[in-house]
Every structure is written in C-alpha cells, then in structure tokens.
Amino acid sequence: MSFNENARLDTSQVSGGGGGGGAPGGLVVGGGLGGIIITILLLVFGIDPSSIPTGGGTSDPGQVQAGGSTDSSAFADCRTGADANARVECRVVGTVNSVQAFWAGELKSSKYEWQPTQTVLYSGQTQSACGTASNEVGPFYCPLDKKVYIDASFFDLLTSRFGADDGALAQEYVVAHEYGHALQDQLGLLNRAQQDPQGAESGSVRTELMADCLAGVWAQHASSVPDAGGTPFLKPLTDQDIRSALSAAAAVGDDTIQKAATGRVTPESWTHGSSKSRQTWFLTGYQSGDLNRCDTFSVPSVES
C-alpha cells in the first residue's frame, strides 16, 4: 500500500529509544502481534529465543544492548509519503500517522475520544514498562506506559523466518494491529487477554483476532485518511496489497509458528489464533470497514 508522495508525515508521534526499567526477561504484558514468538517458543516449548535469527539483536533478552536505541534523528528526515515509500522507518512513521488520524476521526461519533499513542522505534533492544523490547519479542503494545514498540528489522524476520512477503501492507498491517491493541486498551477490552490466556477460543486469541480485524477496518478506509494539509496519506489498495497483508497474518498464526518450531500443532496452547483465523478476521474488518464487526467475543467460535 503506497503512500501519496506529497503526503506530510509527523515524526512527533514516533520517538527513538524507550522507557525505563520493566519486567525481567523480556516478557510482555499486553498485546503484540510479534510477541507470539517469545510467548510460544520460550514459555510453551522452552526454546531459547536467542536461537531465532534477529538481524542484529543481542542473544540475551535480559540485557539491553548498548547503543541499541534508535535516536529520533534517524527518522527526522521522514517528511513525505515519498520518504515512506523509500524507507521502512519512514513507512512506520507514516502508518502511525494514518492509523491515529483514522481512529481519532472514527471515535468522534461515540462517547470515546482517541488518546494519542506514541510509537517507540528502536534498534536492537530497549526497555519498556512491560519488559525488554527486542526483535525476539517482536512488535507489541504496552498498556503500562501506553506505547507501541517496534524494531523495524522485525519485518525482515517476518519475511525470512516466517514466510511473509515484503510488501508494504504486510508491514503496515503490523503497525495497525498494535494500534488495534491501543484502541482495545482505551475501550477497556485489553485485559480480557490476561484473564483467559491460552487456547484456541481463549480471551487472548479473541483479543488478538479483534486487533487483526481492527487493522482491516483501518486498511479499508486508509486511502481516505488525510494528513494535516488534507492530502490522503495512502493510495487505494491493490489486490497485491491485500495478499501482502494476508501473508503477514498467516505468518504469525499459532499453528504456523508451532509447526515450524516443533513439527506439531497444539491448539490448547494458542495465544493468537491460527493462520486461517488471522486472515479471516483481517478480511472481516477490511471487507466491512466497520469496527462493530470486530466483536470477536460475541461469536461462538473464532476459528470457524
């Protein structure tokens, strides 16, 4: 999904580095598309996450890499949609701008008001209030400090290790998914994941699939969301864009990651949902364009 070349980006919504100390061991509390990697591999199967290629992260998830934070000057020159089309860091900035502008406008007709949510764009490792943020954990939203954490090199891992393509919407979907968790937090829904943390129909899975659906809702409307000057951030979606997003959704399905890690699938330990359900719920949001269709807690089964 390409940006309009003359769209204006706002880098103030993204910062480099991260917050102060957090929980030990890099364990994430909250919602994360990429956090499935450490949740499944470390907690369920006992696999050392340092064995996963990380594209520059340190092998010890309990240590913060010296100089690992991305200074905000590294994306200070992300000024236009053309920059977003050329550089992944700028693409993250532009997607954050678009997603936040969309939800701010969408919530105006309700009793809720969108609370601006910062993204921390870092390299290597940094600290969040929810623990160590790293490429091994993947992108996540931390409800304790109300921030999204993304290492842009995760997108390379998503492609090389888990089979997603390298299309723009595959990357933008990741950002939009994390902002889906931010919206859930603002609506008081995010804690359901912690109350029922595992299983194919668990609260955790339903929370993650709702975030996938919300990412789809944004994607449906993204080409009409304007920057501060009235220019839409993004061009209309193509069929290839949708295939890219679906490839990313499939790549982070519990069954896909479990089978790659151990050769077997155990639905009773799922935390994010199957590849099929992740694609299905993204498409539900995209095809309807209606956040009310994303109520994953009202359906008998999310995996059907």
Instruction: Identify the residue with better confidence: 128 or 25.
Output: 128
Q: What pLDDT does residue 32 have?
A: 61
Q: What are phi and psi of 45, to 5 degrees?
A: -100, -10
How far is 281 from 99, CA to CA, in rounded Å?
Answer: 18
Using DSSP's 3-state secondary structure scheme, residue 130 falls into coil
Q: What pLDDT does residue 148 have?
A: 96
pLDDT at 54 over 70: no
Q: What pLDDT does residue 162 have?
A: 75
Q: What pLDDT does residue 61 have?
A: 24
Rg, Å, the chain Cα set: 17
Q: What pLDDT does residue 109 have?
A: 85
pLDDT at 135 over 80: no
Q: Average pLDDT in the 179-191 region?
A: 96
Q: Per-residue confidence at 69, pLDDT binned at 50, 70, 90?
A: very low
Output the average pLDDT for the chain. 84
Q: Average pLDDT in the 8-20 region?
A: 82
* Helices 168-186, 239-251: inter-axial angle, 10-degree rounding: 60
Q: Is residue 101 a contact partner of residue 119, using CB atoms and an 8 Å limit?
A: no
Q: How many CB atoms lie within 10 A of CB 201?
A: 16
Token pair of 232 as six digits: 């839409």
Q: Per-residue confidence at 37, pLDDT binned at 50, 70, 90?
A: very low
